Structure 1
Amino acid sequence: MAKALAILANQPNASAGLVRLGDKQILFSDCEQAFVMYARHGHSLVALFDPVGPQELWPNLLEKFMATARHQGSRPVFYQVSKAFLPHAFDCGLRPYKLGEQAVVDLTRFDLKGGAWLKLRRSINRAERDGLEFSMLSPDEVPEVIDELLSVSRAWLASHNASEKGFSLGTFDLAYVKACPVAIIRLEGRIVAFANILEAGQHGDAFIDLMRHIPETHRGMMDLLFVRIMEHMKARGFRTLNLGMAPLAGLADHHYAPLWNRLGREIFEFGERFYNFRGVQAFKSKFDPVWQPRYLVVSGRGLPLASIFDVTMLIGGGLRGILRR
């Protein structure tokens, strides 16, 4: 982990900080200047995100990961990779399938002035008039309120009948939460919402990971939380803020779209019982992000249903976690 964190500090993608969860194995390049984080479920060895480190090291690291998968009798799977990874995947005979789109806010351009932001300004102004207060806690300050944060997290999980997720999503692990800055919203002195922030080195990119709140507190609470995070990170010199992926967003639905896209669009339209696809996309769209495609990359032909099942089990923590939410 120490070697991984040293690499993390000198690369541009804050979401790679999910390696801190400790729920994934780490495969280093031969020079130990780049790594892939991965986990196994079923017959899949699933790597999360692009390799972490200089892009010139990606091809050899990809080959090393595929050899590791073959040695273990597993299929190599890459989850939520970017367009930049695809040429290397093609060179190794892997096939991409679009998963959705990641929302990234350009903080250098972010400004609430103008008519386009009127509705959002009204929302956060009302939230502050009604007594909601924002603050950003440094990692040193987080232990003082960790019990309050845990209480909010438990209330949020209970309201959604959900269990903790993992792999590509943050988990309320005490060491993990204490390692990062945490943005909070207070009402009458009590914490009612929070989000932890992962940061890349050199003040380039930041990533909002865990987002938990006490339900039915205030309609504008999460608007206030996100806007103030953006303003705070911009003032600190960060250039982008990653809001995470909107699953199944942006899938082509024209006549020539592949079967994978058509199935994804059907799930997007009719799968609200299991996941709030439309709500997630609509909320992130409020902040005028740049939408960046993210892909599943696998070997073989045909729909990658077995790979998707294994990824889903990793994220959900097994079948029981999936069935809960």
Structure 2
Amino acid sequence: MIDTQIIQFEVIVLLITWTTLLYFQKSKTLNNDVDITYFTQFIKKNGGNHLSHLTYMQDKDVYWAQEKQVAFIYKIIANKAVVLGDPLGDQVLLKRALVEFNDYCQKAGIKPIYYQICPENMQYYHELGYTFRKIGEEGIVSLDTFSLTGKNGAKLRSTLNKFTRNSYTFRVLQPPYSKELLQELTSVSNNWLANKKEKGFSVVAYSDDYVSNFPIGVIEESNGRIVAFATIATDYKNNVTIDLMRKHQESPAGTMDVMFVHILNWAKGNGYNSCSLGMAPLANVGQSKDAFFSEKLLRIAYEKGNKYYNFKGLFYFKTKFATNWEPKYVAYTKSPFPVILLQLMMLINSDANRKPKLSIDMIKKLFLIKKEGGLS
């Protein structure tokens, strides 16, 4: 029964896609460019969240609501304003800010969508008529309980000791950075990318300007050569996020395990409360027999789509460290969910220098369609 429903769903999605293909390419603009200096002052005062640092990619806009006391980080795709995470700022004003942004979007002829919102704020979206779908879970490490002692930490301890014996070292660098260091980081990043393209919106991309905003954890060989690095972002509420991660393809197995252990110990030693590992897309989505049909389809994508995106591998990696998992949702209204998914894919698969563009290959990746038809 489910196979028949899936095939019907594929046909519907493809029909929707073909009839809206040209329309998708014509995105509206609102021209709310980001003043990075002001934004930095704002989040230092009010705090951010596990996504707010992505504003420094400068591929998104900011709408200031409630007399600049609440910030909406968003990007336009077709007739949608996709807001990244919950609005930032004074949470007492959140409901009024949502109404204000809704009115603003309505006057501009666009529809707001909220991507990766937290459970505690869902009541406010619900009161404004939004529909929800779960799209993954954020892995979080409670640093006060993080430890490698005992049986659970044995494998990570063994890997860490191996790197120590082989004279690999870890340190955290602080900006500003020299031209020579940025060139070395660029080299590592390019080696990791190989023939892959950078993404955007909710997926961080490398640039000298971006990484220069954050402390950077590096793993070095005995000769000082950097083999891996990761930026460390803060929400200014005593929490950090392990952000952009890159390693040389010839780095030893377990390099990123060691990087995470060192960063978590560094954050714990510097008095931070928790560390976000970011969202594991589609993790624990659509598992219940009573789940929404669309979420069950996302579960199939999670199970069968790993040749396009390493859903399972990413989730497994984060389970090595995460002590808590927080569900994340997309909130939307008056739009078919398949269209929402396509538009989100277009945003994520377009970097800051490329206009979001829809392609049939993208559709095939989303719905796991083989060339001969059906699902992979």
TM-score (norm 2): 0.81
Shift of 1:289: 2.6
Structure 1: runs of 5 or more not aligned: none
Q: Where does 1:59-98 land on structure 2 (aligned, <5 Å)?
A: 59-98=95-134
Which residue number in structure 1 is paired with residue 230 of structure 2?
Answer: 195
Partner of 1:170 in structure 2? 204
Which residue does 1:51 correspond to in 2? 87
Tell me how many residue pairs correspond in the alignment.
Answer: 321
C-alpha deviation, 1:321, in angstroms: 10
Question: What's the offset of the Cα at 1:286?
Answer: 0.3
Counterpart Cα distance in 1 of 2:134 and 2:178: 37
Opposite residue 43 of structure 2, the aligned amino acid is L
Tell whether 2:340 aligns with 1:307: yes
Using the alignment, how far apart are the partners of 2:176 and 2:50 within structure 1?
A: 20
* Map of 2:326 onto structure 1: 292
Q: Normalization by structure 1: what TM-score?
A: 0.93
Q: Does 1:268 align with 2:302?
A: yes
Aligned to 1:316: 349
Deviations 1:271-292 (A, max 9, x none): 0111000100000000133100
1:168 Cα offset (Å): 1.0
2:162 alignment partner in structure 1: 126
Compute the RMSD of aligned alpha carbons.
1.9
Is the Cα contact below 8 Å between 1:132 and 1:221 reproduced in 2? no
2:192 partner letter: W
Which position in structure 1 is the counterpart of 2:239? 205
Tell me: CA distance 1:3–1:179, structure 2 relative to 1, closer, same or farther (3 Å).
same
Letter paired with 1:80 = Q
Counterparts of 2:199 and 2:289 in 1: how far apart (Å)?
36
> How much identity, in percent, do the aligned residues show?
32
In structure 2, the CA distance between the partners of 1:280 and 1:322, relative to structure 1 (3 Å rule), is: farther
SS at match of 1:104: strand
Structure-2 residue corresponding to 1:236 = 270
Structure of higher RCO (CA pairs closer than 8 Å, 6+ residues apart): 1
* Deviation (angstroms), 1:142: 5.8
Match of residue 220, structure 1, among 228, 246, 254: 254
Distance 1:37 1:175 in 2: 19
Q: Measure how far apart 1:322 and its partner are.
A: 10
1:143 Cα deviation from its structure 2 partner: 4.7
Matches of 2:291 and 2:359 in 1, distance apart?
A: 32
Three-state SS of the structure 2 residue aligned to 1:50 is coil
Correspondence for 1:4 among 39, 57, 71: 39
Which is worse superposed, 6-15 or 127-136? Answer: 6-15
In 1, the alpha carbon distance for the partners of 2:360 and 2:329 equals 21
Structure 2 CA distance for aligned equivalents of residues 320 and 310 of structure 1: 8
Q: Distance in 1 between matches of 2:297 and 2:63?
A: 33
Distance 1:120 1:208 in 2: 18
Q: Which has the larger radius of gyration?
A: 2
Of Structure 1 and Structure 2, which has the larger fraction of its residues in strand?
1
Q: Unaligned 5+ residue runs, structure 2? A: 1-34, 351-355, 366-376
Contact 1:123–1:220 under 8 Å retained in 2: yes
CA positional deviation for 1:320: 8.2
User: Given the superposition, is the C-alpha separation of residues 142 and 257 from structure 1 closer, same or farther in structure 2, using an over 3 Å criterion?
Assistant: farther
Q: Which moved more, 1:182-191 or 1:235-244?
A: 182-191
